[in-house]
């Protein structure tokens, strides 16, 4: 789950504002700033899309792409931001220490440069006015500097998506003005330093996708402004620390998935009235889910999948808010899809795999309101036919029904062009496979009672295996 970043918006507003100022002043940039920027450009070894083409000696550096000045001629913000998905746009090389010449720099924003290597840039320590640093998604590596706490005027520090390793320096406790700290997507190990508790102004703490371990320390009592806490995809173990309770009511995103956390889901979560996203998936949480969660009426995303939670699951009060719900692979025996779920008007992603559901799909009344995007009801005992459901749900992208008791004639199935994934494996489906499946990205029809000649598709043998009498490529030739 990507957390919204109001910080980005903030930067662009500032940059835009500064650009406007710049238009009204005719001065050219300071020679130190020009030479610092040209030195930066000189160690960029590849710039295939010409991001730095406007950076030319003798022209006003305040007019160069990504450069913003104030006070007439001093560079205050350097912003190079590349689209994440365009593989042909990147910069290779290192970050020149000459950027220290830009003595008025307040913000350094390097996002998705992708192929910049080298250590944590030490020029940052020589900039007396620095307030925000974005070094996201590149190939910076080595340890975070032990004296990182010396950057104590920073409001924002994000180095997500690099290859920084080693432990989180304890001096981080000196970054007391930080609002936003993101060290996600690196190779950091060790425990969370207790001194993080000093960062009382934090509104967004993201350490996800690292190799951090130990228990989550009891550091949250003073963090009354925290809205986003993301510690997913690490090796944290033990119970949730009690001070998480003091994050109520401000906390909006609690994302702790893919760790080794255990214990029960605390009932104080019901006081998190601003909660938008609760992701505790892939841990060892056990016991029942507190009934009091019914008080969280505005929650949009709940993911409790892959834990050891037991019946009964409470009736939630989220009719007009919930967008995605995943309770798969716990120890639930729900019998039916609960009414509060089927009637939730905006629910678009529903995953209740292995939840002990025994209903017939024909009993499921689809909503008149919004349509589903993805459904996963694998490994239940659902009977009946999905024919009507798939005809009505014309925005469905993913339909996972593996390991149920669906019994219907596949020739009657039609689905919308939006469908990408169809998994009906290990059911009681009969009839023939029609050519309409050829356009899907993912298909699995194995372990059913299908028969007849297969249409031409790109799919391997395994997705048709274990049927009664299918034949033709990629299976064996049809006889006669």
Can you give the binding site for ligand NAG, defined by CB under 6 A?
46, 92, 115, 117, 149, 170-171, 173-174, 235, 237, 257-258, 260, 281-282, 303, 305, 324, 326, 349, 351, 402, 425-426, 444, 446-447, 462-463
Q: Which is nearer to ligand NAG, 35 or 92 (CB)?
A: 92
Q: Which two tokens stand for residue 361?
A: 């799909």
CB of 235 to ligand NAG, least distance (A): 4
CB of 86 to ligand NAG, least distance (A): 12
The DSSP letter of residue 233 is: S
- Which of 406, 410, 464 is closest to 433 using CA atoms? 410
Contact present, 396 and 372 (Cβ < 8 Å) = yes
Q: Would you list the DSSP string of 73-127?
A: TEEEEEEEE--TT-TT--EEE---GGGGG-TT--EEEEES-EEEEESS-GGGGG-
Q: How far apart are CA 62 and CA 104, in angstroms?
A: 13
How far is CA 432 from each of CA 327, 417, 467, 469, rounded to the nearest angstrom?
33, 20, 11, 10
CB of 198 to ligand NAG, least distance (A): 9
CB of 72 to ligand NAG, least distance (A): 34
Q: Which is nearer to ligand NAG, 247 or 256 (CB)?
A: 256
CB of 161 to ligand NAG, least distance (A): 15
Q: Which is nearer to ligand NAG, 211 or 333 (CB)?
A: 211
Q: How far apart are CA 307 and CA 366, in angstroms?
A: 29
CB of 421 to ligand NAG, least distance (A): 10
Q: What residue has token string 């950076």?
A: 55
Q: How far apart are CA 356 and CA 333, in angstroms?
A: 4
Q: Which is nearer to ligand NAG, 156 or 444 (CB)?
A: 444
Contacts of residue 426, defined as CB under 8 A and 6 or more positions apart, other chains included, come to: 402, 403, 404, 446, 447, 448
Q: How far apart are CA 11 and CA 140, in angstroms?
A: 22
Q: Which is nearer to ligand NAG, 68 or 283 (CB)?
A: 283
Q: Which is nearer to ligand NAG, 158 or 305 (CB)?
A: 305
CB of 284 to ligand NAG, least distance (A): 6
Q: Which is nearer to ligand NAG, 64 or 464 (CB)?
A: 464
């Amino acid at each position: 789950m990507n957390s919204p970043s109001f910080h980005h918006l903030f930067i662009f507003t500032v940059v835009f504002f500064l650009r406007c100022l710049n238009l009204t002043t005719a001065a050219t940039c300071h020679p130190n700033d020009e030479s610092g920027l040209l030195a930066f450009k000189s160690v960029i070894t590849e710039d295939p899309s010409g991001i730095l083409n406007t950076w030319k000696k003798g022209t006003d550096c305040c007019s160069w792409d990504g450069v913003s000045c104030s006070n007439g001629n001093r560079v205050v913000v350097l912003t190079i931001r590349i689209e994440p998905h365009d593989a042909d746009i990147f910069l290779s090389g290192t970050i020149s220490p000459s950027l220290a010449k830009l003595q008025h720099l307040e913000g350094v924003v390097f996002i998705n440069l992708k192929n910049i290597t080298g250590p944590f840039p030490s020029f940052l320590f020589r900039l007396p006015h620095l307030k925000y640093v974005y070094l996201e998604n590149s190939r910076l590596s080595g340890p975070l500097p032990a004296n990182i706490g010396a950057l104590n005027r920073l409001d924002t520090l994000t180095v997500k998506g690099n290859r920084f390793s080693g432990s989180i320096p304890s001096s981080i406790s000196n970054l007391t003005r930080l609002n936003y700290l993101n060290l996600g997507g690196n190779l950091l190990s060790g425990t969370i330093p207790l001194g993080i508790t000093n960062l009382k102004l934090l509104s967004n703490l993201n350490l996800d996708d690292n190799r951090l371990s130990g228990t989550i320390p009891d550091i949250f009592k003073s963090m009354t402004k925290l809205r986003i806490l993301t510690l997913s995809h690490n090796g944290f173990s033990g119970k949730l620390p009690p001070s998480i309770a003091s994050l109520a009511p401000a906390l909006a995103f609690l994302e702790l998935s893919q760790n080794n956390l255990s214990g029960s889901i605390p009932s104080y979560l019901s006081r998190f009235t601003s909660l938008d996203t609760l992701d505790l998936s892939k841990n060892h949480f056990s016991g029942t889910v507190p009934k009091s969660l019914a008080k969280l009426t505005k929650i949009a995303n709940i993911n409790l999948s892959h834990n050891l939670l037991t019946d009964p699951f409470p009736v939630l009060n989220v009719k007009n808010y919930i967008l995605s719900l995943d309770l798969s692979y716990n120890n639930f025996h729900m019998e039916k899809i609960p009414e509060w779920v089927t009637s939730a008007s905006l629910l678009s992603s529903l995953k209740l795999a292995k939840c002990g559901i025994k209903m017939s799909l024909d009993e499921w009344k689809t909503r008149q309101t919004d349509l589903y995007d993805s459904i996963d009801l694998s490994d239940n005992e659902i009977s009946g036919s999905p024919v009507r459901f798939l005809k009505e749900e014309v925005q469905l992208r993913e339909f996972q029904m593996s390991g149920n008791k669906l019994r219907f004639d596949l020739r009657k199935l039609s689905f919308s062009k939006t469908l990408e994934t169809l998994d009906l494996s290990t059911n009681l489906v009969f009839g023939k496979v029609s050519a309409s499946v050829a356009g899907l990205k993912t298909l699995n029809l194995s372990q059913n009672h299908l028969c007849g000649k297969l249409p031409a598709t790109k799919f391997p043998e395994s997705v048709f295996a274990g049927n009664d009498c299918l034949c033709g490529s990629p299976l064996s030739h049809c006889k006669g």
